[in-house]
Amino acid sequence: ICLPSEKTKRIIFEETANFTIYLIMRMIYDRNGDFESWQKRSREYLGKLKVLVIGQGNIGKIVKNKMELFTEVTTFDVSTNQMNDLEGYISTADIITLHIPLNSETKSFIDREKLSWIKNDAALINTSRGPIVDEDALFDEINSGRIRAAFDVFWNEPYKGKLTCFEPNQFLMTPHVSSTCKDFIEGLGHDLQDFVVKLTSSQN
């Protein structure tokens, strides 16, 4: 019937981007050491890591701008890049984060072939829509031990699917909460009140 206000939309864009960055950092720093054994594991300097942001809509642009403060960032968007170039982008990235809408053309956009391009020990982040990634193909790649992933969105929700067996070390899961913050919910409430007032006024 109506869209959220620009203020409310800004909150959801910012908060989803912030949560995406949290998942990226979790994947980078999650395996640094073991407290009980006091074992430390070496890691690459954060500034050397390469983050690929697929999709340069509202959220993807924010993720790019914020992650550029920490890492090397490249972007891919079907409106500005050639599909033939995607393999090169994916194969060199340490982190790949997805920010594209779900439609008939993007369902299983990240398919078995594209997953095979991801280099060993890289991580795939998804805070957009689950079906953008082929579930069976992702299962096989994670099961091989080659890659890791962090998803906030799934093919069916609440998710009870096959990838739960890898949680949390190889497949980190959060329950579709990337945009869920108090200010966003309050913003929607205010937007609804404004809509009701406008609707009532137009009928008088």
Residues labelled catalytic: 129, 157, 176
Assign 3-class secondary structure to 127-174: CCCHHHECHHHHHHHHHCCCCEEEECCCCCCCCCCHHHHHCCCCEEEC
Fill in the amino acid letter for 22. Answer: Y
Can you tell me the distance from the alpha carbon of 204 to that of 139, in angstroms, rounded to the nearest whole number?
A: 57
Radius of gyration of the chain (CA): 19
Q: For 74, list phi and psi in degrees, rounded to 5.
A: -120, 155
Closest to 178 in 3D by CA, of 197, 157, 204? 157
Phi/psi region, residue 55 (left: phi>0; alpha: psi -120 to 50; beta: rest), is left
